[in-house]
Amino acid sequence: MENILSILIFFPVVAAVFIMIFSKSGKFAMWSAFIASVIEFILTIPLMTNFDKGSAGMQFVERYYWIRSLNIDYYLGVDGISILMVFLTTFLSAIAILGSFTYIQKRQKEFYVSMLVLEAAMVGVFCALDFFLFYIFWEAMLIPMYLIIGVWGGQRRIYAAVKFFLYTLAGSVFMMLAIIALYFKYGSMTGEYTFDILKISAMGAQFPLGFQIIVFLAFFFGFAIKVPMFPFHTWLPDAHVEAPTAGSVILAGVLLKMGTYGFLRFCLPITPIASIKFVPLVAILSVIAIIYGGLVAMVQEDVKKLVAYSSVSHMGFVTLGIYAFNQSGIEGGILQMFNHGIITGALFLLIGLIYERTHTRLIADYGGIAAKVPVYATVFLIFTMASVALPSMGGFIGEFLVLVGAFKAFPTYAGLAALGVIVSAVYMLWMYQRVFFQSVNPNLHHLDDMTVREVFYMIPLIIVVFWTGMYPETFTSYMHESVKALVEQLNAVSVAMK
């Protein structure tokens, strides 16, 4: 298991270079990328099986001197919070690449190279324990996603790509300023200038309140855009609608989680006093996102945009759980990050494959297709039910834990957030009724059902959705100790403030 994290980060890059050099056809690039992504996923299995669930600390740690003059190290590690995100990244990347085989017809080599480089950067974000290294991976991630949207997207792809890039870049600037401020403040207080995330986190409660508030707001702005939280969400529907299916899967499945991961890894431990003081603000914005996102989703005519706005609502549950500052809420938030990646990723795959057949995403252009494509209708129903948090499915467990934690911390906000569960059922089931039942659109009489390949890549997603719903301990057991340590740190700060 030595250097396993470095292998996970750089193997997709090596595969991308291999494709760039040796690929003579789109088919070769396509299959090479898929095989590489499957190998990448397989490499995460020993990471999961050898992880010590009884430890709250970082594991599989790698540390090497890099830029000694600034105390910058190549420093990697995972704990119970980040390991699930690494697993989610490699799992969804393989499925997204397999799902892209039929609709990427131009510049196939460049597309699959972009997907592999994006995967490497995403894994790096979740493994980095040095702020400088983290920032490099964070910024590196923007370039391939910008290209995926801007080159292989829809008619307004340039607009959507530029909007995505500018919003995220604006957040990154504030995050960079916060990192620099921490570097100098920690150095002035200890005499050691470092970008070590763990050392700075351990010192978090000792930073002055005014400094914490400034750093918190800078981090918050960067991460809130990425989530995206209300009112920083406007880039998301455009990016989703214009992105190719694989881009939407990765965007919803992994990239949005980096914002909430940032809250957990940086805001809570590094600025704990400021985080506690800003709980009402975050809770209010989360509740607004849950209800507003659901109401806006309800009136969408484009099914892809509907699912995009549903992400705003579902990610509101994640931030609400995280800022409950208790075991149930934070574990529910992390589990919901994982569940949302699986469920929404699957919905975007399903929307993409029907779009390939009909070349429309307007709900009004469908109707009655359940009789024509029964397998597709069944699979779509499974993920519709998972999205509305039906018991026995992963979405239910995540939202239930979030609401339990939220009711302990702030009952009023939790009660309002619970309304979002009803709203999500309304817009998802109403969408399903209009697309799959009622009268059949005469233009869809010759619609083909799912192929073997399409069923093949949906089965793992179905298994994970039910597995998470019926045996959530399989996943929550990884995070128990890490979350417990974080909650104890926050409780100690809260007691000291009184």
Domain boundaries, the chain: 278-498
DSSP line for 331-361: HHHHHHHHHHHHHHHHHHHHHHHHHHHHS--
- Report the chain's terminal Cα–Cα distance, integer Å: 45
Q: How far is residue 267 from each of residues 147, 218, 279, 297, measured CA to CA in Å?
A: 30, 10, 12, 30
- Among 47-56, 231-240, 391-400, whose mean pLDDT is lowest? 231-240
Asked if residue 336 has pLDDT above 70, the reply is yes
Length of the chain: 498
Residue 109, pLDDT score: 87
Q: How far is residue 198 from each of residues 76, 90, 295, 487, measured CA to CA in Å?
A: 11, 25, 40, 16
Give the number of other Cβ atoms within 10 Å of residue 42's Cβ: 11
Asked if residue 495 has pLDDT above 80, the reply is no
Structural contact between residues 487 and 330, judged by C-beta atoms closer than 8 angstroms: yes
Supply angle C-alpha 242, 245, 249, rounded to 5.
105
Span 176-197, mean pLDDT? Answer: 89
3-state DSSP assignment of residue 155: coil
- How far is 256 from 173, CA to CA, in rounded Å? 18
Structural contact between residues 384 and 432, judged by C-beta atoms closer than 8 angstroms: yes
Mean pLDDT of the chain: 88
Residue 441, pLDDT score: 72
Is the peptide bond between 231 and the residue preceding it cis, with omega within 30 degrees of 0? yes
- Run of H or E residues at 258: helix 256-262
pTM here is: 0.92
Residue 361, pLDDT score: 83
Span 40-45, mean pLDDT? Answer: 93
Residue 498, pLDDT score: 65
pLDDT tens for residues 365-409?
A: 887 888 888 899 999 999 999 998 888 888 888 889 999 999 988
- Run of H or E residues at 60: strand 59-67
Supply angle C-alpha 117, 121, 127, rounded to 5.
145
- How far is 391 from 328, CA to CA, in rounded Å? 18
What confidence category does residue 243 fall into, taking pLDDT thresholds of 50, 70 and 90?
A: confident
Asked if residue 104 has pLDDT above 80, the reply is no
Asked if residue 460 has pLDDT above 90, the reply is yes
Residue 367, pLDDT score: 79
Residue 1, pLDDT score: 64
What confidence category does residue 464 fall into, taking pLDDT thresholds of 50, 70 and 90?
A: very high
The greatest distance separating any two alpha carbons of the chain, rounded to the nearest whole angstrom, comes to 74
Asked if residue 94 has pLDDT above 90, the reply is yes
Supply angle C-alpha 431, 436, 442, rounded to 5.
120
